[in-house]
Amino acid sequence: MVSSRKTHVKGGKKMQPPLWQPPVELSEQEEQIVKRIRKAKLFVFLRQHRHELLDEAFQQELASLYRPAERGQPPVVPALLALALILEAYTGVSDDEVIEATMMDRRWQLVLDCVDTQEAPFSKGTLVAFRRRLIEGQMDRRLIERTIEIASQSQAFGPRALRAALDSSPLWGAGRVEDTYNLVGHALNKVMRVVADRALAGAGRGSDRGGSRVGL
């Protein structure tokens, strides 16, 4: 459930991102899903503890990344996008695969409160834009550390394994605001430059040796 929230200002109303208030208790359908995905511990952990991870205070922090808008629709719930980013970082999928997973993978749907949805709860562009806001607002580390803190407190998921997975994700690297495929493209370009540089260096050394032989 989403709580709609508006900030009133003189001369009009300014909309801010709504708070996310999904159910805490598992439904019968969710309980059946959890039984089938016991080994997918991160998904179970996030479903059972998302209300602690994304309490009202932290959701207010995420909402502060957005400027109140006088027109248009309020942004997609930041808490929902934050959970999606945690799953994306942990599983190592691309932005496109995130959108696909929200419609095809019940593990993702369980966490994001959209079981049996026919449409993705957000677009790729919305996800990328939120990640950019998160990083520019220096909230990416805050999200990671808070997730690890809740995992440690609840003892429902190994905090060390979670930290290792989240810290190593390319989403938080130098090119973290870009799609995973773009990151791969940059990596390949770097490899090609290194190969080219080494080839030129090798050619130069060969010329030097050739010159020495001629001089002899």
Q: Over the stretch 52-97, which tens digit does the pLDDT of each residue have? A: 999 999 999 999 998 776 555 567 899 999 999 999 999 999 999 9
Quote the DSSP letter at residue 15: E
Averaged pLDDT for residues 177-183: 45
Looking at the structure of the chain, the number of domains it has is: 2
- Same domain? 120 vs 189: no
Query: In this structure, are 195 and 166 located in the same domain?
Result: no
Indicate the burial class of 44 (C-beta count within 10 angstroms; 0-12, 13-18, 19 or more): buried
Q: Are residues 135 and 200 in the same domain?
A: no
Label residue 16 left, alpha or beta by phi (over 0 means left) and psi (-120 to 50 means alpha): beta
Rounded to the nearest 5 percent, the helix, strand and coil shares of the chain are: 65, 5, 30
CA pair distance 98, 105, nearest whole angstrom: 10
3-state secondary structure of 7: strand
Same domain for 212 and 123: no
Structure tokens at 197: 């540089």
> What confidence tens digit (pLDDT) does each residue in 20-56 have?
999 999 999 999 999 999 889 999 999 999 999 999 9
User: Quick one: 171 and 185 in the same domain?
Assistant: no
Residue 129 binned pLDDT confidence (cut-offs 50, 70, 90): very high
One domain, residues 52 and 126: yes
What's the domain range around 194?
Answer: 179-216
Secondary structure class of 46 (helix, strand, coil)? helix
Q: Where are the alpha helices (DSSP H) in 105-139?
A: 106-112, 124-136
Instruction: Output the pLDDT for position 1.
Output: 52
Q: Which residue has tokens 């791969």? A: 184
Asked whether residue 172 falls in the same domain as residue 192, the answer is no
At residue 130, the pLDDT reads: 93
Residues in Cβ contact with 35 at an 8 Å cutoff, skipping those fewer than 6 apart: none
203 and 105 fall within a common domain: no
Residue 184 in 3-state DSSP? helix
Q: Is there a single domain that holds both residue 206 and residue 163? A: no
What percent of the chain lies above the pLDDT cut of 70?
69
Looking at the chain, which runs of residues are DSSP E strands?
Answer: 2-3, 6-9, 12-15, 19-20
26 and 66: one domain? yes
Same domain flag for 15 and 85: yes
Same domain membership, residue 190 and residue 84: no
pLDDT of residue 132: 92
Helix axes 124-136, 140-154, angle to 10 degrees: 90
* Confidence (pTM): 0.73
